[in-house]
Amino acid sequence: MQFSQIDRVTLLEPGVRIEATKTVQGTEDYLKDHFPRFPVMPGVLMLEALYQASALLVRATEEHRVGLVVLRTAKNVKFADFVQPGETLNIVAEILKKDGSSYTLKAQGTKGDSIAVAGRLVVDCVEDDGQPEIVAKHAARYMKQLTAELTQTSALCE
């Protein structure tokens, strides 16, 4: 991961749950624009932190045999609190079910006693079988699918 949204994994139970943290330092580039007078971690990066923790859990569950763990869907995502510089997002992700190469997880990020972000994530495992082009093909397919879904959602909002 080029932009890790996890500082530390505090608990990892393969097949069950992961706990991790991300402390917003205040030196992150995105804080210059988001927002200059009220810097906060963007919601999309909070969601990315949930995904990254979930992917680590799935990889550990699969004993690191998968080439890629891709986010298929983020359902019922709710943003309830800001995370500002100096504050820590405590991330917990739990596996709810496995269906073939897909996992459904419940994930949430808290700040102190309050929930900042929560949702259900569906991720897919893509095995590369020593052929990275297979992973690239699957990644491209998921990007097309995600783009189509976002386009449909945007059209509904207009």
CATH number of the domain that residue 20 is part of: 3.10.129.10
Same domain, 75 and 147: no
- Looking at residue 21, its pLDDT comes to 96
With a threshold of 0.85, does the pTM exceed it?
no
- 1 inside domain: no
Q: How far apart are CA 102 and CA 61, in angstroms?
A: 12
Among all chains, which residue has been given the structure tokens 């500002």? 84
Q: Which pLDDT does position 65 carry in this prediction?
A: 84
Q: Report, as residue numbers or ranges, the catalytic residues.
A: 34
Q: How many domains does the chain have?
A: 2
Range of the domain at 95: 8-126
Clarify whether residues 90 and 102 are in a common domain.
yes
Query: How does residue 1 score in pLDDT terms, banded at 50, 70 and 90?
Result: very low
Among 113, 122, 46, 123, CA closest to 82: 46
Cis peptide before 35 (omega within 30 of 0): yes
114 located within any domain: yes
Say whether both 37 and 110 belong to one domain: yes
Mean pLDDT, the chain, rounded, equals 86
Q: What is the pLDDT of residue 136?
A: 62
